[in-house]
Structure 1
Amino acid sequence: MLKKTSRTFFIPIDRLVPGLKEAVASAYLCMRAIDEIEDHEELDDELKIQLLRQIRDLLVVPADLESVKAMLAPYQDRLPEVSVRLHEWAMLCPATVSEVVLRYTAKMSDQMADWVKRGWSIRTVEDLDGYTYSVAGMVGEMLSEIWLWFDGTKTDPVKAVAFGRGLQAVNILRNREEDLKRGVDFYPEGWGNKEMIQYTRRNLALGDAYNEELRGGPALEFCKIPLKLAHATLNLIAAGGNKLTRQAVLKLVNSLS
């Protein structure tokens, strides 16, 4: 499922050591599951909000995973497999860190429901910061708690948020035309690509500082890959391109080995 849903994150997750691999895989797939609900092109907004709020309520520790399974089962023909199997991804997580993954998945699900309700209205930089925190910045926070659980690695929370926020900003740039076609504009009023690229570079610079503080170990091995790909994609977009080829991705990843 990781391979099916993300070529960016499959490689660094697959390279993690046992225990940490299951924790991060669980976290990624849980969040991908709710992201697919938020972004679904055919579900009406009221149903999205209903499903996301129910997931939030059911994942409060102790999580009721059987009820999550039962609640999503009727939508198996409308939702992607990664969403319908959310309970399985939650069960994959090691018990000693599952509270972290479930807490952040519930929090993200709740905030995603808020953004659906708002119609993803982005008017100011503060709105953009709020959105990128809701869908990615808190991923940085969650990963920091996972690194701390695994081997005591401590990180700067502000830089952790910027790490996730920078990766999301790259996605916003890359998906610009597609988002506008579905009636969603993540650019603050008066912004063009120039301003969004500057915003992205600022956050990725903090992401670089976040990585520098990891000082080796599995956390750095994981984080350096998506960060490297984000920088490369941003440079490509700034030069008029859009998406790295599979060959380019593999070349960049191999350069970090």
Structure 2
Amino acid sequence: MPFPEFDSKGMEYRFLGNSGTLVSVIAYGSWDTVGGQVKDSSIIEPCLQEAWKCGINFFDTSESYAEGQAEIEIGHALKKFGWPRKDYVLSTKVFEGGHGPNDIGLHRKKIIESVNASLKRLQLDYADIVYAHRPDYLTAMLETVRAFSDLVAQGRIHYWGTSEWSAFEIGEALSVARENHLVAPIVEQPQYSIISRQRVEGEYAPLFYKYKYGATVWYVLLSSLADRSYD
């Protein structure tokens, strides 16, 4: 285990998809909190420290959360704490960030420039996971897969994944990667709760079984029945 000192806390770790990387079963997310509803950034640091003390080694953010401010605050805290980079897993997401004509989608220009910008905000040399935050119906799948694959080869990211993609779209990405000898996605980040179960338990089931595709779910506690559309 990466955190033997946390054994007494009872934190459980699981493999990220079909990889050998271990992540805590509870992650520290930053949507609608870091840089968003929580305006006082001084509150974020003790929250992160408490999560760390409990054995959480998985921290999640996105270029779109509070228009990049979440990444800035997470990055500032991580640098201040000085935690060993090898001991935590950091994920972020790209798809929509900025207001220009090329600031949305999963084309090569968008993916590479967004990852570079995210790493600058996070003050990190690499991200462990970058999710394609939504499917892009206008860009060829090969272009998307190749861009992520190149970032892995460059050491800018370790893994890439999908978020709110259909099983068909994920299957296409896996096939394109296999046929072109590229790096395939390994994990999906879907909404999943007691009243939103069909996609995870039904649609994705073949992916979990056949490819050992991973899942890092959001909205497990379903914060609001009236607002369930965005993560």
TM over 0.5: no
Tell me the TM-score normalized by structure 2.
0.36
Greater relative contact order (Cα 8 A, min sep 6): structure 1 or 2? Answer: 1
